[in-house]
Each structure stands twice: as C-alpha cells, then as structure tokens.
Structure 1
Amino acid sequence: MGTGKKEANRRIRQGKTGDGLANVRVKGENFYRNAKKVKTLNMYKEGKAQRNSEGKITKAASFQSRDVPDARIEPNRKWFTNTRVVSQDTLKAFRDAMAEKANDPYQVLLKSNKLPMSLIRDGQDAKGIKQHEAKVAVETSPFAEVFGPKAQRKRVKLNVSSLTDLVGDTEKSMDTYEVRLEQARLLSGISGQDEEERQVAMAIEPVFDKGQSKRIWNELYKVIDSSDVVIHVLDARDPVGTRCHSIEKYLKEEAPHKHLIFVLNKCDLIPTSVAASWVRSVVPPSSADTPTDLVLRGVVRVEKVEHPEQYIPAVLNKVKRHHMEKTYDLKGWTNAVELLELLARKSGRLLRGGEPDLDGVAKMVLNDFMRGKIPWFTPAPSRNTDDNGVTDRDGRLGEMPKKRGLEDAGDTSNSVSAKTAANQPGSGRGYDREEVFEGFSSDYDAPSPTDLKDGSCVASSSPSTSTSKRRRKT
C-alpha cells in the first residue's frame, strides 16, 4: 500500500504509530538481552569514569565533570555606591512604636505588609532564635575540635566581655530557673511546703515528663471552666495516688462555686469493707509523685520505660505473696529477681545463651498489675476512735438508716419480721425504728416461699462481707 496521507491516517486508527526507531538496534542487544535491559545496564555504568592504561580520566562520569565554567559578575553601578543604613536609636524608636501598636487591644490589623518584620523585633527569647544560635555554635566549634586528641580550643568562649556581665548573666539564668521551678511546684501541689519538707529532685527518664505541656493543661482548664460539676474518677485500689491535687486546688481557689464529686471505680476488685472505709475516710494529701508511682498508676506506657525490672519490688510491696503465687503458680522465690527468672523460664522468654529476659517479663508483670490480673489494693488510712464521724452506721458500704418502722407496715410485715429475726443465728432482738441497714453480705440465705407474703422481700443479716450481694427490705 502507499505511504501517503491516507496510509498515515490508517496507521493512526489501527494504533500502529511509533517513533520510527522500531528497527534500530541498540549496542549490546542480543538474544539474551533486549534493548530495555541494555539501557538499564548502561545507566548503572554511567556513575564510573573511563580511564586509560595510565589511570588518567579520558571521559568523566555523568555529573562529575571537572571543567569549571567561567565566573562572571554582572557589571552594575550599585556595587560601588553607598548603602542604606539605620542608626540604633531610630531602630529602637521604631521597635517601641511597633510594640505599642501590637499590644493595643483596640487596634485591629487589616492588612499586613510583606516586609520581614521579624528581623526588627526583640525576639531574643524566641525558641527559633535560640535553636539557631545553638546550631551556629555547634557548627563553628565541633565536638572534635573542642574535645579529644585533635582539640584546638585553648579556653572557653563566653558571650560576655567582663566579669560583671558574667555575674549578671548567671543571676538572670538563676531567676529564670526559680520561676520554672515554682511553676512545677504549683502544678504538683507542693508550693506551700517548706524547704525542709520538700523532696530532693532526682534524675528521671524523659518519658515521665510527657503529657505535661501547657497546651494539654490549657485544654483541661477550658473543660473545667465550661463545666458546673466536675466528676473525679478514682481507682478504688489506690484512691490517693489517682487524685489530681492541682485540679482540686484550682477549684478551691478559683472556682469555689463548682461542685467536685469523687467516684470510686473498680470497687469489685477490693474487699467491701475497704471500699466502705475509703468512702467515709478523709484522704490525706500526698507529696510529689515519684517515677515508681507514675508507672504503677499507668500514667506512662510500660513499653516506653527503659528498665522496668526496677519497679517490680514496689509491686511486691503492694501485693500479698500468696496472690502472686496463685496468679503465676510459682513458689520458692525470695526476691524480685528470682521471681522474674522463674517466670521467664516458665513462660519460655529466654535470650541468647539461655539467659532470662528480665525486661520482657517485668513489663508483663506490670501490665498484669495495672489491668487487674493481680489482686491488690491500698488500705484506707486509720482514724482515731474519738474522731467525730457518722455515729449511726457500722461502716459498711451501701448502708443507710431505716426510713420506716415495722409497725407502719401492718400486721403482715410484723409476722414476717418475727420469723426472720428468729431465723438469724446469734440475734436476740427484733427490728425497731432506729435499726440501720447492715450492709452487703455474701452469706445471704434467701427466705422460703412461705415467708414471703403480699410481695414482701425479707433479708437476713450476717457478719461476713466477703462478697457483695444486694438485699432489700420492704
């Protein structure tokens, strides 16, 4: 067929168009390597320079040519004329005027210019400028030039010109440190203590400082300011440790009209008598939290702690020995290290050479401690006998004074009460108007169907309170 205009259109319709290099053979192409493979191999070889027998470069590699182009500066009169400068007094006056306008609450910025205004501001305390200065200091004085066998520095370079300036700089940094220290004490709730009562600061891991930024605290205070009632959920196993004293202090001083409610959570993990004593007791204030307290309360993630095995003795101090033996089915250990070794060999967590993985097993024990697999609780603080408290209760969780006498319920209720009082072991008295609810009991005997009349439900009391069961009286 012809190769004219119609033939070209036919090739386009049939999709047979090409670049015209279909029959062009690439150097190196053969039966084993096609053109695409050859181009890929040539691309890999482009990074090497070609040399002759003497080792001299005959052909430079790609982007590695040693030919330097001729440098030429554009001729201009501005290179030789005077430049525009400003005096320090004029610059200071301009800065003061800008700061006055910026701090005026009645001034509104409608349109901002494109000038670099950040260059004329007094941003000496800005974080970016500090980072820039630190970067410049590291680049000008690397570690190898300051320390080591190749050190070139003979004396320390300070940013002061005299001893008086050094004293002023030291006092300024000390004042800044005291301000930050006072803020930290205010957040921890120990700002009013004396120097002798305060604990000595200790070096802790950086993970314990996470989540304490001003942004997070500001979000919390926003929620508190917009609320009328604040519900503080406490862990029944450790109510003292889970209290936030800074929030309580803020509500007491800044918002006394707001209501603060404490809710004990996870009461099913502790004995009923302990929960009741926590409900009616006065919780004493606690000091600053230690890293051990933060780990055991679940404030930080166990996976982020570097040496978790150092917190296992604190776990053993809170948990009874028979609970640990029953949970992990291990006996014969005397300290925390032996417990971790036995647990590692039992669970098969061994390192190279048969060494027990103490870190992994310690993390497992801490997770079991926080998630309720290991039973534990913190006993309530003891109270004096002459302390004024609730006198008409026996100290059981859920007890309440009786609201209605039995004589008001009718003859039917009196007969049922008499039968119930007779069935109680060691009970020689009946119910009266001043009787109170005896609390929850595990040894609860349900009344027989013959004792229930007119839909009444009668419960017998028992001194045991190991397991909570609800009882009703009508």
Structure 2
Amino acid sequence: MGRVRTKVVDTRKPKHGLDDNRPSSTKKGTRDAATVRRLKMYSKKATRDKKGKIISQDFQSKELPSTRIQPDRRWFGNTRVVGQQQLERFRSEMGAKAGDAYTVLLRQKKLPTSLLEDPEQKQREGGRAARSHLLTTQPFASTFGRNQQRKRPRLAAESYGELLETSGRSSDKYVEEQADAPAPAWEGEKDAGRMSVFEKGQSKRIWGELYKVLDSSDVVIQVLDARDPQGTRCGHLERHLRKTARHKHLILLLNKCDLVPAWVTKRWLAHLSKDFPTLAFHASVTNPFGKGSLLGLLRQLGRLHSDKKFVSVGFIGYPNVGKSSVINTLRTKKVCKVAPVPGETKVWQYITLTKRIFLIDCPGVVSKQAGDTDTDAVLKGVSRIEKLDEATEHVAAILERIKPAYLTRAYKVKQWEDATDFLTQVARASGKLARGGEPDTNTAARMVLLDWQRGKLPFFHLPPDYIPDSAMRQAAEAPSTTHNNDDAQAAAAEAEGVQGQPVDALPVKQGLFLPGDEAAPAASPSQSGESAEDASEAEDASPSSSSDADSDSKESKQAAGRPVGKHRAKRRREQSQQKADADSDTDSDGFEEGDLSWEAVMASVKAEQAKMNQQSAP
C-alpha cells in the first residue's frame, strides 16, 4: 500500500503582533500573515555604507535616469587630435629620449610610439618603409586585363643603370643583423668531423628557453664575464630587445670583477655605460660586491612600475658567466644549482626575491660571432674540458694571451719553445705520464684549460675605445680652436667634480696579478681585445714609467721562477697591495682611491661626450 501524505498545520499561537507565524485566514479583528509581512515592509530601512550613502533598498530602481546632453563641440568634437607641427615637435623631443637607456617611459600604452618613426626618412636611409595593401592602391582589374588603366608598369628601377646602382648599393651594405643572428640548422655547410661539444648552448631547445625568459621578464640583466665582456656579449639579443621590446629594461652586469685589476673594471664600466646601465658585481654568498647597488636598482624600477602587480627580472648570458651565482648572492642562500662547469642550468626557474620582484634563471645561450673558432668557444667557457678529445689544440692560444711570468709562477716552467714543449714540461712536473714514461700532454692540456676557465690564470681584455692616460692628458692640455673658453672651463669643472667624488673599493683577488698589472699603465696601444701581456709590455716600453716600477717588475719576474714560502708569499702580497694603493693615487681616470661608483662613472661618460662634441664642433 502506498504512503498517505498529510498536510502539517501549524497550530501554534503567535508570540507577538509582528510574528508572521500565524495562519493566513484568521478570525475577524485579528492580523493574518499577509498583514504582518506588509507592516514589516513599511518599517524596513535601507542599507547604507559607512558614509551614509544608500546602497540598496526594497522597491527602489537602480536604473539611471535618461538625461539630455548639451549639443556642444566640447562634448562631440575630436579630443585627441595632433597637428603637423605638434607631431614634428613630438618626434624631435621623443626621438632624443627613445634611444636613451637611462630614461624610463612610465605610461607606454598612452603614448603613440609608432609615430616616432618617419616612413619617408626611413626609406631615405635605406630601410624599408611601411607598405600599404597592394590591392587597395592598385586593384587587379584596373592593372591587368581589358580594363587596365595604366600604360606602363611601375618598376623599382626606370633604367638598367639605375637597377645596377641599386643592386650594388644593397650588396655593399653590410647587414649586421644577419651577420650576428644565429643561422638555421639547415643553412650553410656542416663539418661532419666537428665535435658536438662545440655546439652546446646553440640548440633549438636552449633558444626556446631564452625567449621564454625574455617574454616573461620586465627587466633583463645580461651577465658578462669581466675578463672578456665583449666576447661574452650578445649583440643579437640587444638589437632584438630594442626592435621588438622597447618597454623592457636591459642592464649589463660585469660579474667576476675580482679576477681583473680595478682599473680594467673602471674602463669597461665607462665603455659599456654609454649603451646600457652597467654595474660591477662579485658573486659570493658570504662576501659579495655590488649587491646593494643591484638591489637598489631593482627596487627603483619596481617603484617606477607601480602599476604592475609583479616585476620579473630575467638573467641571460653565456654559459659559465655566473647567472645562478648572482641569484644565490641576491637571495643570500643557495636556491639555484651552481657548478664551475658550463651547462649546469637546464631549464628556466622562478625565484622569489621580494613580494613584488621575481628572478628568472635561464640556461646559458651561445650567440655565434663573426670569426669565432672552436678555440674561442673553449676559452670562453662554453665547452666542457673533460669532453674534449684533443685538448692540446687549444693551449697555443692561451700561451699567446698570458704573460710568461704567470705561467712560470703557476706551473714552474721557465722556458719553452712551443705549446707541445710547454705541455711536455707541465706533464713531467705534475707526474702525468702515460705508458712507457711518455708525458701525457692531453691530460696536461686539460689541466691548463681548467685553470684558465676557473680563473687561476690571470688574463683580461681592454675595451675597444681604450685611450692611455698619457694620450688623454696631452689631448686635455693641447689648445683647441674648435670651441670657446666657456665650454673648456665647464668641461674642466665637471672633470674636477668627478675626481672629488667618494667611491667604494672593488674586490681584487690577492696575489693574482703582478704589481705592474694591478696599477694602470701609463701608455698602451688602444686596440680591442688587448691582453695583459700587451698592456704590460707597453707599460715597460713607455718613457714615462718610473724606475721604481721597473725595479718592481724585475723583482717580480725573478721571484716568479723560484718557489715561495708561506710567510714570504704573504709578505709579498702585502707589499704588492701597498704598491697598488700608492699607484692608485696617480691614476688619472677621474676616480679617487677605491675605484668607482655609479655616479662617478656616469659623470665621466658625460665629460668624455662633452669633449668629443667640442672637438667635432666646426
């Protein structure tokens, strides 16, 4: 049988007059449930906010009333219209700031940056102007067929001579973007006998990781090796950011500055600061250098972009330049895997620095430069030494770039004829022998290459625009007829202001360089990629060098050939440090003792630019 449903009737009496728990139909003279609900509606109040404004209320409409707008030009005219003169002034003012790496554009979405490029001027300079749609300007029906309107086709050249001139001009023009851009895997000839170890850092997966980091970063920090900044610099990425991502900030970071003398770091900072903001850095969790400057710069960029919820900072660069070590230094603990070999970082990694600033670690990417060989890849730290089959082929380049005194001090080898003789003596001295007592030169070559990559063998490159102090002093003292006295006095006052600024000391590894190399040379040829050996030879050959410096260099060369005890080595390091401190007072780079600060470098760059403008003025 089915269950019978019965209706439950509330037979309780109401407790008070506004209690709606009562039957709907009652006796005459009493309230029913509908009457009680209506009375409650009358006494219900509106919901207000803390300022007393009504937010919601029953039976109140939220629709806005229809109003009439005054038919005036102020409301219906074009509000954002620019004239031709205003556009030209906008182009001239913003064009001067567009290429400045030290100027930050805060409101990028509201600024029509596409108006900065003049298509006619770009076409006059040899570039491609923005092309309109072809079918819009030249319909197919009016160009070909019965209804064609033009009698002569529009060609790029009107005559054969003009075509030859155009093709010759385009062939003579050197396209730098195509030269430095990485070539596709299918393009060009391949060497079947080339080892795969030289192709590390150039795979499609690594480049994909790099572009992930570039797309996700608001600030891009390119980490360079202070020993060879130009060789570990990727010009292709810099042009890519300037062309396709102008809103991203690029910063250059000179890492491993403790492996070069202080005056070399100063000159590289002055050279690189002309293009992008550059900082000197020494990655160390316990004793870092430049950490406060980098953190202050990141916080400043974070305050400038206060409209963004988060700011991401990506670290890019060659393998084994210290990207992961820089991140560990900023976090003051080990958050990224580090190793003294290239290729330790495989994929990108997010690290939290603050609540708003995030760091992105990227695998090392190798950008091929014109003229680079397999030996250059090994000496830049791109390839792993233990995977080289013939390591002896790359030692000759090391012997050309390092002073013999440093090699004698490191391996106790006084004289050698060539690279094979040097490796033979090193193998016998270190006990690396093969069967039959023959010296194992391949193992000895790997030892030398490992010492080179890990900074045990001192070397450095000078900037391309390096000018000796004596030449700078002669140019400053020589009378110039191209500018007036007021400009000369202003430049001299600015130079004096730079010299009087307080600066901080750069860390330099004790006992790594000889006293003659730690002090700035008095004269040296201004060639790019100059090594420490060339700089020291020019210093010894200069007539302005003092007799004390000559005696110190002779003593250091003599002492490099014999073993040094612990106490004697400590005493010599102290003497070399005192000598370097004394010589730093005579360095006329515009910096006081202690080397450099951000303000001093920027002021020196401005002073050099002012001198160049004065000399080039008619």
Q: Under a length normalisation based on structure 1, what TM-score does the superposition of the two structures give?
A: 0.42
Whose radius of gyration is greater, 1 or 2? 1
> Quick one: higher RCO (CA 8 Å, sep 6+), 1 or 2?
2
